Every structure is written in structure tokens, then in C-alpha cells.
Amino acid sequence: MSTLELDAVSKRYDDFYAAKRLSLEVGFGESVVFLGPSGCGKTTALRMIAGFVTPTEGRILLDGRDITGLSPRLRNMGMVFQNYALFPSMTIAENIAFGLRQRRESNQAIRQRVGQLLELIKLEGRGDSFCNELSGGQQQRVALARALAFKPQILLMDESLSALDLKLREEMQIELRRLQREMSITMIFVTHDQLEAMTLADRIVVMNGGEIQQVGAPPDLYGRPENEFVASFIGKNNLFWADVIEARGKTSTLRLSEQLTVKLELPLPVASGSRLAFGIRPERIRMTVASQVSGNDGLVGTLTDQQFLGNITHHFVLLGDGKTVLVETSGKEERVATGSSVVLHFDSDAIRILDQRSRA
Ligand SMILES: Nc1ncnc2c1ncn2[C@@H]1O[C@H](COP(=O)(O)OP(=O)(O)O)[C@@H](O)[C@H]1O
Ligand SMILES: [Mg+2]
């Protein structure tokens, strides 16, 4: 049985859906990350799970029990906010103990638990310090310890690492993931940062416009995006729309624009006369100097710019119709001078079909 279940949960403000028909099951010990751009409904989803926002439709189940209308205090969930929300007038130990005191635990039990948690967040011996004596990363760890203190059934985190600078944020992501795994914490984490999502998640829930776009493990979302939004939001991608002029078996003649028609071998048969969206990852494209290519297949373009990024290089190739294609190489390939005419090739399994419609 899943620990948490969202059953077609929506939140409507007048006739605007901040979150629409969210359905999801989260297993015990699983780390699920809600990922999407600002305003897509992530916080609304999390606050409905926590009980701070009441759904207008649908049900929320915890261990099979309907908790849709239950007060947040009775849900046994720990929440960590973006701005830490620590109590500045309390010591670190008092901050961590806050939830335990509310639950009227004995002094001895509290002291023991706070000691364990200080050790966990590597702040042993700092229990009597005040929060303003700590760095941002340390304060974030205290907020985490406070949320974990009463052993919540689910840990909820809303953009909780966003205020930290990049290096510290990356360290905290790895640390949090380690803790979550070691302690089998069921975690729901909200972020707009795809790398953070990939680091933290067993499964990512991609959201846009209040709706779930796709749910999957990071490699599945990267390798098998189901629509244009997911294909472009997770990693880099080259997206094309094309009219299928002719389809013979797997080889299709595609019109990418008025100026540009190509023959491609697609991974799936498509219908002649349909309109197609597909994506090709930059690292799946091979770029060759035009004078070294025989035959006339492939996409012809001009290499207009190159960015050396250390382990990879980005190449920008301008096609005849004005579209720019991003090609990524790992530096082992022969260098090509900026300004060269180039031809782009890719295998049919590098093409991910994202949408197919009949032509209007
Ligand atoms: N209390 C509210 N009243 C009206 N609209 C709201 C309210 N809370 C959130 N919204 C709207 O719902 C949408 C989703 O918000 P939110 O869940 O905060 O997105 P995210 O966390 O993904 O940035 C936004 O357009 C936001 O303006
Ligand atoms: Mg938010």
C-alpha cells in the first residue's frame, strides 16, 4: 500500500485552477520531487498535502485513511520552508525541540532526541548557540532537524535549499539524499531546479500550468519525455515541428519549414499528412564538416558559434530556414572551425516523437 495517495486533487481559486486533478501514489521511504516553473502549482500541491490548503476537489489518503479535511497538526508531517522559519529568540536545541514540547514529550526524551539530531546535522556541542550565530547552511540543517525531530511520517520541503549559494546547495542536496535513504524517510521535495530534482528524486513529478505532465525516474524523464514541455524542461533539447509529406515504412519525408525538407528514419511509423513534434538531444547529433561528407542525407547548416564548457562543448548550427540547432560534443571529436559548413546526422533512435496530430 502506498503511504500517500493523491486522488484527483484540485485547488481552484474562483475559476482558476492553481492545481488540477493531481493523482499520485508515494511509497514508504520514497523521495518524490515536484518540479516545474514558478507558478505551476508546486507549493499549492505541497500545502494541500500538509493540510494548510484545503482541496476544492479530490481526496488525500495517508496509509489508506482519508485525511483531506484533517488539521495539519494531526497529520504527522514535518515541513521545511525556504526561509528556514527558525525562532530567532530560541537556541538551536530549543528550535529542534519545539515540536517535541508541543507533543509534551518528557525532558529526558527531548534531550536525548535533540542530541541525536545535533549529531546527525553535524552541529554537536552547538545546541546552546543562537541561530544568528550560524551560517545559512547550518540554519537550514537546524530547520531540517526540527522537522525530523518528532519522526514525521512524511517530510515536506518547499524550495528548502534555494536560499543557499550553489556550492553549499549541492553539498546539502547530496547530504539530504544520503539521510533520506539511510533513514528511509518518505520525502516530498518541491523545486524549480531540474538538477536539484535529479539529485534528490527517486521519481520526479513534472508540473506545468497546475497539471502533472509526467511522472518518472530521472533517466526515464530524460530519455523518454512524453511531451514537448517535459522534453525541453528536463535537460537540453532540439525541438522540431514537421509536416509528414510522405511516409514509406520507417523512412519519412518531413517538411520542417518552407525552405527545408529532409528524409529521416523515424523510430516509429507515422501517418502521411500528419503534423509531428519531435526532439533530438544535443549529444545525440554528430556534426561533420560538409566537404568531408558524401551523399546528401543529413541536415546542412553553418557552425555559427561554439562554447567550450570544460567537459563538453556546445556548438550552434544555423540551418537554412533560420533555426538554430544545439550540438553537444565531449571534446574527443576533431575540432571544427566556427563559420564552417557542416552536416548533422543522428540515428533514428535519437529521435523522440512528442506529439502527432492530423493537419488542420
Ligand atoms: N491564495 C491564492 N489565491 C489565488 N491564487 C493563488 C493563491 N495561491 C496561489 N495562487 C496562484 O496559483 C498558482 C500556483 O501557485 P503556487 O502553488 O505558489 O506555484 P509554485 O509554487 O509552483 O510557484 C499561481 O498562479 C498563484 O498565483
Ligand atoms: Mg512555490
pLDDT tens by residue, 41-69: 999 999 999 999 999 999 999 999 999 99
In whole angstroms, how large is the CA radius of gyration of the chain?
25
Among protein residues, the one with the nearest Cα to ligand 1's atom 13 is 18
pLDDT tens-place string over residues 272-306: 999 999 999 999 999 999 998 887 788 999 999 99
Question: Does residue 20 sit in the same domain as residue 153?
Answer: yes
Give the start-end residues of each E strand in the chain: 4-13, 16-26, 31-35, 57-62, 65-66, 77-80, 154-158, 186-191, 203-208, 211-216, 238-248, 251-257, 260-265, 274-280, 286-289, 299-308, 313-319, 324-329, 341-345, 351-358
- pTM listed for this prediction: 0.91
Q: Which atom, in ligand 1's list, is nearest to the CA of 159?
A: 21
Average pLDDT over residues 201-223: 98
The CATH number linked to 173 is 3.40.50.300
Give the three cell numbers for residue 85.
522559519
60 alpha carbon – ligand 2 mean position (Å): 20
Closest ligand, as measured to the CA of 47: 1
Question: What is the tally of structural domains in the chain?
Answer: 2
Question: Does residue 263 sit in the same domain as residue 289?
Answer: yes
Task: Please check whether residue 33 is in contact with residue 194, taking contact to mean a CB–CB distance below 8 angstroms.
Answer: no
Question: Does residue 189 sit in the same domain as residue 307?
Answer: no
Q: Tell me the CB-side half-sphere exposure of residue 118, using CA atoms within 13 A.
A: 20
Q: Please give all residues whose beta carbon lies within 6 A of any atom in ligand 1, as ranges.
A: 13, 18, 36, 38-44
Question: Does residue 196 sit in the same domain as residue 164?
Answer: yes
Show the domain range for 350: 238-358
How far, in Å, are 134, 283, 291 from residue 128 at the CA level? 12, 52, 72
Please report the pLDDT score of residue 173 as a whole number. 93
Q: Which atom, in ligand 1's list, is nearest to the CA of 210?
A: 14
Question: Does residue 185 sit in the same domain as residue 305?
Answer: no
Q: Best substitution site from 43, 46, 47, 79 to test ligand 1's pocket, by max atoms within 8 Å of Cβ?
A: 43
- Domain endpoint, select from 226, 246, 266: 226
Distance CA 36, CA 197 (A): 10
